[in-house]
Amino acid sequence: MKKVIVLGCPGSGKSTFSRKLNSITRIPVIYLDMMFHRADKTTCSAEEFNHSLAKVMKQDKWILDGNYGRTIQVRLEQCDTVFWLDYPLEICLQGIEARRGKPRVDMPWIETEPDEEFINYVKNFQQDIRPKMKSLLEQTIEKEIHIFTAREQADLYLNKLQEKELISFTEGI
């Protein structure tokens, strides 16, 4: 595992999962939201984003956290591992509510108010975005793909990975 993408509905915990994966593997995390959004709540152009993404993907190791549908295909071509947090809507909405008002390393501002347009996007994710993601992943070959449908599954995977890493570390001493 050297080049990883983490996908999922907003609020699913992609950034939390990515940080935990980083703490185990020491693979650097790149938050696509931080590449796209600016602190003043404006966004960069598609060209700027593409340039930044291409630069990151030339690195030897990375965890790319975020969906950004128009770039999923190119990231799938470059990665060796995919994690899809395919959680129910209620879990994602709870995740969004839980992070409101808190500083985050994956966003350049603190969300203090509900954003109805964003909430509607999340509510429509299952029917609008999920089928496209599923189709792309079904067409992806020669990649390690992990699909978690509950937070407990992702936590169990990370716990097992951490145990494996600790065993590898102690065997090397």
- CATH number, domain of 117, equals 3.40.50.300
The answer to whether position 166 is within a domain reads: no
Of the CA atoms within 13 Å of residue 3, those in its CB half-sphere come to: 13
- Which residues are CB-neighbours of 63 under 8 A, at least 6 positions away? 4, 5, 6, 18, 21, 22, 25, 27, 28, 29, 30
Per-residue pLDDT at 172: 57
Domain containing 16: what range?
3-161
The answer to whether position 173 is within a domain reads: no
Per-residue pLDDT at 171: 62
The answer to whether position 57 is within a domain reads: yes
In whole angstroms, what is the distance from residue 75 CA to residue 78 CA? 5
The answer to whether position 169 is within a domain reads: no
Q: Is 133 within 8 Å of 7 (Cβ atoms)?
A: yes
The answer to whether position 171 is within a domain reads: no
Count CB atoms within 10 A of the CB of residue 158: 16
Q: Between helices 116-128 and 89-99, what is the axis angle to 10°?
A: 150
The structural domain count of the chain equals 1
Per-residue pLDDT at 55: 97
Per-residue pLDDT at 60: 98
Tell me which residues of the chain have a pLDDT lower than 50. Answer: 173
Span 46-87, pLDDT tens digits: 999 999 999 999 999 999 999 999 999 999 999 999 999 999
Per-residue pLDDT at 8: 98
In whole angstroms, what is the distance from residue 109 CA to residue 7 CA? 21
| pTM, two decimal places | 0.93
The answer to whether position 130 is within a domain reads: yes
The answer to whether position 131 is within a domain reads: yes
The answer to whether position 170 is within a domain reads: no
